[in-house]
A and B are shown apart, each in its own frame.
Chain A
Amino acid sequence: MKTDEFIAFLAKGSAVEPTPALRNKLFWAFSMAGLLSLALAFTIIGAQPAEALMTPTPWMKFAYTVSLAVAATFLTIRLARPVANRRAPSVCLGLVLLAMLAYGAYYLAITPEEAKGQTLFGQTSLLCPWLVLLVSLPGLFVLQIALRAFGPVQLSQAGFACGLLAGAIGATAYALACPEDSPTFVAVWYTLGIVLTSAVGAISGRWLLRWD
């Protein structure tokens, strides 16, 4: 078809602006990711008793994972579109990460020598990153499918951001099922799980985020 005719064809009756539908889609995917992660965490590992919410431990975890999720949402939305300025959200992410690592290191430093191993490794350090990844995967899938509608062009980076977001959501859900209570443990093993999810997101993004 001649390009001129094609342009006329596209332009005719074209005053269509369904932007809200797109935002709703992302919000919906975000909620789905949260629900899926929660459901998985509760069925695979089982919830902590409700009294645990009265202690500061889960709130320390939430503070970290929710801040990460907020920064990751920011980054994901930026990378969702063809032109992206990702400096501000990247700086936010870096600050959250740095703060948690610093807190974890400080907590380890003030722990008496004989308890350091327990503070760092807890009971579940070998499992924790993998469980965070597992709990996050369905959300990652849903988020990437939703993100495709925006037309991202840097597929690996957008996939990575999606993974970070899914990982942070997954870790928040996992915190409700996780028995560990040391900030050092969270700073190391939760972070590792979220990074794993991001890596999977960067790889799967090359396929799942591709659009025509």
Chain B
Amino acid sequence: MSESNEFNDKTASVATGHPFEREIAPIWRLAQTGDEKAYEQALRLIAQRLRAFFRRRMNNTPEDAEDMVQETLLAIHTRRHTYDNAFPVSAWIMAIAKYKLIDFWRKHGRRDNLTDEFDDTDLSQQSIMTAGAATSNLADIQKLLNQLPAKQRQAIELIKLLGLSVSEAAQQTGLSESALKVQVHRGIKQLTALVAQKSP
């Protein structure tokens, strides 16, 4: 990503002391302009940083830490339009991560020691899961998608699952591009709410 290095902006070069900030800031700013590749790269960097953060702080299993990584990524994703350029991205990200960690402790408390890891419990189910590993994630998503309004579901299926570009999807559905984007955004928010309902 050579163009990300050339991207230069005075406002956000505030707290460049921290190596993570130095690494993430240019890519993040590029991502905020709508560059999908840069956004994906930014999320991967953020995921690494979050993994280290949660593993160090959670005495539970790595699976729990990974769940928290994903939950925080989702929070960053759904709130990224509220990011204010005046602050370092890394501080913004870690503030969300801390909030999520506190939220986790509040919800789970100490009782968590009494629950079993899913992977250790039901072996028969596990073999079914591994047999259909490639499709199981999609099946999970599909189950959740079925609970969404038709328009949101269609938009997410076309853009997120089939991988059409927004303009292709717009042609196929006859909706405008911005309408589709809004549907995707709302759909993701709705999905977040659905997942949050299920996991106590």
A binding-site residues for B, Cβ under 8 Å: 1-19, 22, 80-83, 85, 149-151, 153, 210, 212
B119 within 8 A of A: no
Verify B81–A19 contact, CB threshold 8 A: yes
Verify A82–B99 contact, CB threshold 8 A: yes
Give the residues in chain B near A17, CB-CB below 8 Å: 34, 81
In Å, the complex CA distance between A8 and B169 comes to 18
Given known pairs A3-B70, A14-B36, the reply for A153 and B185 (CB within 8 Å) is no
In Å, the complex CA distance between A15 and B34 comes to 5
Verify B47–A7 contact, CB threshold 8 A: yes
Q: A153-B96, A212-B75 are in contact. List 13 more A-B contacts (CB 8 A).
A: A1-B140, A3-B73, A7-B40, A10-B74, A11-B36, A12-B163, A14-B77, A16-B182, A18-B185, A81-B83, A81-B92, A83-B92, A83-B95
Given known pairs A6-B70, A10-B73, A15-B36, the reply for A22 and B81 (CB within 8 Å) is yes
Q: 8 A-B Cβ contacts within 8 A?
A: A3-B47, A3-B66, A10-B73, A13-B166, A13-B169, A18-B185, A85-B86, A150-B79
Verify B82–A150 contact, CB threshold 8 A: yes
Closest CB in chain B relative to A79 CB, distance in Å:
12
B binding-site residues for A, Cβ under 8 Å: 34-36, 39-40, 43-44, 47, 66, 69-70, 73-75, 77, 79, 81-84, 86-88, 91-92, 95-96, 98-99, 103, 137, 140-141, 159-160, 163-166, 169, 181-182, 184-185, 192-193, 196
In Å, the complex CA distance between A212 and B165 comes to 29
Given known pairs A9-B160, A13-B166, A212-B196, the reply for A151 and B82 (CB within 8 Å) is yes
B35, B36, B69, B92: the one contacting A82 at CB < 8 Å is B92
Verify A7–B43 contact, CB threshold 8 A: yes
Verify A153–B77 contact, CB threshold 8 A: no
Closest CB in chain A relative to B16 CB, distance in Å:
16
In Å, the complex CA distance between A101 and B34 comes to 50
Give the residues in chain A near B70, CB-CB below 8 Å: 1, 3, 6
Closest CB in chain A relative to B1 CB, distance in Å:
14
Closest to B77 in A: A10
In Å, the complex CA distance between A2 and B36 comes to 20
In Å, the complex CA distance between A202 and B95 comes to 19
**Residue among A6, A15, A82 having the largest count of chain B Cβ atoms under 10 Å:** A82
Give the residues in chain B near A85, CB-CB below 8 Å: 86-87
Verify B87–A12 contact, CB threshold 8 A: no
Verify A7–B44 contact, CB threshold 8 A: yes
Verify A13–B137 contact, CB threshold 8 A: no
In Å, the complex CA distance between A18 and B185 comes to 9
Q: Rank and list the top 5 A-B pairs by shortest CB-CB distance, nearest first.
A: A13-B159, A15-B34, A11-B40, A82-B95, A153-B99
Closest CB in chain A relative to B5 CB, distance in Å:
20
Verify B92–A6 contact, CB threshold 8 A: no
Given known pairs A1-B70, A150-B82, A151-B75, the reply for A11 and B39 (CB within 8 Å) is yes
Verify B87–A11 contact, CB threshold 8 A: no
Give the residues in chain B near A4, CB-CB below 8 Å: 44
Give the residues in chain A near B35, CB-CB below 8 Å: 15
In Å, the complex CA distance between A149 and B84 comes to 14
Give the residues in chain B near A7, CB-CB below 8 Å: 40, 43-44, 47, 73
